Structure 1
């Protein structure tokens, strides 16, 4: 095939498919590192707001909000990764179990787009909110 265009039938050439796979792997690797850093930030937010009530009872916030750079959030949605909040909630729940934490109410992590400053790909906040659902977060808080 001359000119590096599309193969017959309008499909991608073998080179274009290989380039696309390489970009997907690169994107995935970069996101994996950012995901690990995000989990660390979520764990830190949980630990940082732990309240020791007794030797056997440590209460932590149950409502977390993860603000992602608007471009990153849009990319996750575009790639069909709208379940990120659920995945983060599951991870945080397991983390809390390992630490022996008690949640201040039902645990939820909500992921929203944000206009984070350059160099700050995400922001994590947590607070105790009894009987909270992901869609119950106050707007503009």
Structure 2
């Protein structure tokens, strides 16, 4: 398999997830992967011509009912699949992560009427000066 290509399992997971979220809200399919990529791109910090740093900790908050349904149907691997996709996105863009990359999928803590919410930031226990500067 070539790097950067989605596996058949990942494509199936994306289709299943989009269909599930779409059914939950009866709207057009939610582009969760695109929302994660936009979050990453929006928080990119250009440190030099050859160094662009992006957050390494992402949280996807799903509507509580959608999250429960997803977990009942084997959704425990969704966070890893989203992390893998975001890692490929960062590699394509030449990004440097602020630390080890992780995407966590949780039920929403704030009822907003939206089927999902994406947020990001550097992992709290990772210090920026712990990473060597890119030459």
Whether TM-score is above 0.5 comes out as: yes
Superposed CA RMSD in Å reads 1.9
> What do residues 55-84 of structure 1 show as CA deviations (whole Å, max 9, x unaligned)?
110000000011000011000111111111
- TM-score w.r.t. structure 1 length? 0.67
Aligned to 2:47, the other structure's residue is in SS state strand
Unmatched 5+ stretches in structure 2 = 1-14, 22-28, 127-135
Contact 1:68 1:111 in 2 (8 A): yes
Aligned to 1:82, the other structure's residue is in SS state helix
Runs of 4+ in structure 1 deviating by more than 6 angstroms, as ranges, are none
Does 2:33 correspond to 1:39? yes
1:23-102 maps to which residues of 2 (within 5 A)? 28=16, 30-31=19-20, 33-34=29-30, 37-102=31-96
Unmatched 5+ stretches in structure 1 = 1-26, 133-141
Larger radius of gyration: 1
Report how far residue 117 of structure 1 moved.
1.6
- TM-score w.r.t. structure 2 length? 0.70
How many aligned residue pairs are there? 103
